[in-house]
Chains A and B, each alone.
Chain A
Amino acid sequence: MSQNLETAGPPTVEITVAGKSIKAREGETIIHALWQAGLGHEIQTGCVGGVCGACTVTLRFKDGRRGGTDLACLRPVEEGMEVFPFPVDALAGPPPVSDPDADKLRAVFPTVDRCTKCDNCTVACPMDIPVMDSVLRMQKGQFEEVAEDFTTCIHCGLCRAVCEDKVLPHTMGLWVRRSLGRSVDHPALDQTQETTMSDQAEQEWEHLLNCDDKERLQRAKAFRAE
């Protein structure tokens, strides 16, 4: 595929998006092709950088290649590609808790044990997260690993949308992360508050602020060099 990207020129590829046929340049993404065709509104778009999860689509190829799901802002066009908008609405989850464990998770996500290990969620994930394995880890309360698994989750919702058993993988993933985050102590945060109130701090502010702009720039330069 990377070979094709090294030549750019006039539109040579034909794809269909929501049933509309458009011409596209090899190497460009589905979103950029839509823009060129004046059809930007066809697919809901957000960051155009693969991190907001707005532009979820399903794909199909007439020649029998497997299509599946992807983000239209990152997926390069290919000849004969059929694109279908597949927006997934955000879902509010239950509030995080302190010191989470498997029981606490089950209490708010009773569907966690319904997973039938079909692995659709993993296949659907555009971020290559091992979603199904992580759901199994959630069942066992292995939350440090779960938090790591979902570090790169953009909450596009695809894993949830394709789950026939109403397991809510990414919603649980965020609940685990937020619950762990709330449970961590950070002594540094409290120590800093004390030093901010000190006499020395006041003197330093006085030194940095109580002068004209030109002098302040010099003082700031000296201060950061200390």
Chain B
Amino acid sequence: MNWAKASLDKVERTRAERRDQSVPSISDDDAQNLIKEYHPDYVGNERKIHVGPNADSDPFPMELADLLESDSPVPKDFQPTADIETDVLILGGGGAGVTAALGLADSGLTVHLATKLRLGDANTVMAEGGIQAALGVDDSSRRHFADSYVGGHGKNDTGLLRHLCEEGPAGIRWLTHLGTLFDQNEDGTFRFRKGGGTSTPRVLACRDYTGLEIMRVLKNAVMSSATHVLEHHAAVELTDDGKDRVTGAVLWNTQTGKLVTVSARAVVLATGGSGQLRLQGYPTSNHLGATGDGLILAYRQGCSLVFPGSHQYHPSGSSYPEALVGQLVTESIRSAGAQILNMNGERFIDEMTFRDVVAAAIIREVMAGRGIETPTGRRGVWLDTPLIEQTKGEGTLVKQFPGLIHRFKRYGIDPTTQPLLIYPTLHYQNGGIRIDTECRTERTGLWAAGEVTGGIHGTNRLMGNSLLDIIVFGRRVSESVQQNCPERGAVTLSRLNQYRDALSGLPHKPKTTAPQLYPRVSGMKFELKGIPKPEAGTDVSSSGDVKSFEPPDPFASR
């Protein structure tokens, strides 16, 4: 990183002095002003939309507004007929969807889980820092609530948030029973980390691979259950009974290019977030499929969205090297003591305050010309990781942050000796589909859980509350579905047809179709192949007869 040598020298020179420096403090008022002036939620381009339940009310990010006012990719002459009949159809193969499937495993209900990518290829597996739960000696669910409520600017749905905090310990108990390993102290007790905005250490972790640890356990468990898993099946539309009820979904088999209709008594949306919409050109920490598909599908059915303009820009996205741009550098690295510095090696924000405040402060610093520019023209500020090796002892980073070390090593960057360049990255969808404490949407037959929902986190989420969200509400949705599972209804596209009528009344014609399914930058898109004749998907669930494709041995000539 010779291009940044002058600035890196300043970081080196000031390190000893900064080591015992007190944290830059910021008042509540200053924090609010900082956010209003610099946070992308407040300064980005937005517009109102003119169809559906949120018509002419909340402002939406342009990218999402365009999608909500777009037509479905399902051909107008497509007549859905049930290719698969099931009791419960779960859409989404991340943490929330798989948790829901596990919760339904012994219910006697037939469960199909469809996912656009493979089982587990989701934002859950990418979560690094940890999962919150009020398990500490001096902690309580009320303290957890208070921290999250203040972090969410008091916009949180109190019923949902209370449930999240109260069920945290039970969620962790469930995970440990499944065999999840969380980091422990020498004496075998849980090790809690502090997260940005937690008033006491409350974050459980598995190094910086917490989401990976949880997802691989959940995936392993669900593969041994009776759940029918449909991989490579993207939900492109929900079906309804012609009256007031959701009755299934139309899926697109991404491998064959054909449409598959599923009739279900209950549909659970667990399709996750929308970072790959790359709002305002921001890079993202999200996986390939995070394009907000569930928002589009639910909205067309008449479900309203709460805080549709609220997104989390994680303060520490990687800004260099180019190949890692947008990827997450976990917040717990700041919890461990890494400071954020401008080009002069100066701190400018309390590194452990709320995420939106830290992100806004970084953007301000860069806009004021105190950032560092990379050879490709990206800008950022320093995250002084070598400081941790000095304050916490040599080897701390390798021990506690193996993922960070591994990822940067192949680009010749060693975080134990070299600071990382960071800039906010689009990380999480704070808003989403409105649900009640039973995870019911405003439409009968349709439930939702996880990142696709809105309200739990207000307009800013705390670290470790999203992994808890998917576990607690994934479990909740499975209970609610069992208690309230409706009878099977007709499978029609009457809601879609009504929405299409509404769209035709708009002054402008839709430029695209939605759900978008893939990031635009990938060039991948919806495409029907052959005659759109439905075909049942491949069942990869393991009920006794696992098909394992073993490719040829690449080491045959080694």
Q: Interface size for chain A: under 10, 10 to 19, 20 to 34, or 35 or more residues? A: 35 or more
Q: Is B555 an interface residue (CB 8 A)?
A: yes
Q: Are B149 and A216 in contact (CB under 8 A)?
A: yes
Tell me the bound Cα distance from A219 to B118 in angstroms: 45
Contacts across chains A and B counted by CB atoms under 8 Å: 241
A216: which B residues are within 8 A, CB to CB?
A: 149, 154, 158
Given contacts A49-B327, A209-B158, contact A151 B179 (CB under 8 A): no
Which B-chain residue is minimally distant from A195 (CB atoms)? B140
Q: Is A124 an interface residue (CB 8 A)?
A: yes
Closest Cβ of chain B to A60, distance in Å, is 9
Tell me the bound Cα distance from A39 to B2 in angstroms: 34
Given contacts A54-B121, A223-B143, contact A49 B126 (CB under 8 A): yes
Checking A6, A40, A178 against B518 with a beta-carbon cut-off of 8 angstroms, the contacting residue is A40
Q: Is A164 an interface residue (CB 8 A)?
A: yes
Checking A54, A87, A180 against B181 with a beta-carbon cut-off of 8 angstroms, the contacting residue is A180
Checking B146, B176, B376, B407 against A8 with a beta-carbon cut-off of 8 angstroms, the contacting residue is B376
Q: Is B468 an interface residue (CB 8 A)?
A: no
Q: Is B411 an interface residue (CB 8 A)?
A: yes
Q: Are A49 and B285 in contact (CB under 8 A)?
A: yes
Q: Are B321 and A208 in contact (CB under 8 A)?
A: no
Q: Are B135 and A120 in contact (CB under 8 A)?
A: no
Q: Is A96 an interface residue (CB 8 A)?
A: yes
Checking A46, A92, A127 against B223 with a beta-carbon cut-off of 8 angstroms, the contacting residue is A92
Checking A2, A86, A223 against B413 with a beta-carbon cut-off of 8 angstroms, the contacting residue is A2
Q: Interface size for chain B: under 10, 10 to 19, 20 to 34, or 35 or more residues? A: 35 or more
1/0 contact trace for B391-417 toward A, CB 8 Å? 000000000001100110011110000
Q: Is A95 an interface residue (CB 8 A)?
A: yes
Tell me the bound Cα distance from A45 to B524 in angstroms: 11
Q: Are A58 and B522 in contact (CB under 8 A)?
A: no
Interface-facing stretch out of B52-60, B303-311, B436-444, B539-547: B539-547
Checking A7, A28, A89 against B547 with a beta-carbon cut-off of 8 angstroms, the contacting residue is A89
Q: Is B81 an interface residue (CB 8 A)?
A: no
Q: Is A51 an interface residue (CB 8 A)?
A: yes
Q: Are B149 and A93 in contact (CB under 8 A)?
A: no
B147: which A residues are within 8 A, CB to CB?
A: 220, 224
Q: Is A102 an interface residue (CB 8 A)?
A: no
Q: Are A40 and B524 in contact (CB under 8 A)?
A: yes
Most buried by B among A68, A123, A182, A224: A224
Q: Is B84 an interface residue (CB 8 A)?
A: no
B224: which A residues are within 8 A, CB to CB?
A: 92-95
Q: Are B169 and A51 in contact (CB under 8 A)?
A: no
Interface residues of B in 511-558 (CB under 8 A from A): 518, 521-524, 540, 542, 546-551, 553-555, 558
Q: Is B509 an interface residue (CB 8 A)?
A: no
Interface-facing stretch out of A15-23, A131-139, A183-191: A183-191
Q: Are B176 and A205 in contact (CB under 8 A)?
A: no
Which B-chain residue is minimally distant from A38 (CB atoms)? B523
Q: Is B48 an interface residue (CB 8 A)?
A: no
Interface residues of A in 178-221 (CB under 8 A from B): 178-182, 184, 186, 188-189, 192-193, 195-196, 201, 204-205, 208-209, 213-214, 216-217, 219-221
Most buried by B among A40, A49, A181, A189: A49
Q: Are B150 and A178 in contact (CB under 8 A)?
A: no
1/0 contact trace for B186-210 toward A, CB 8 Å? 0011100000000100000011010
Can you list 6 A-B pairs with a CB-CB distance of less than 8 A?
A: A35-B522, A38-B523, A88-B551, A90-B540, A152-B403, A181-B181
4 closest A-B pairs by beta carbon, nearest first, are: A178-B179, A2-B412, A46-B121, A92-B542
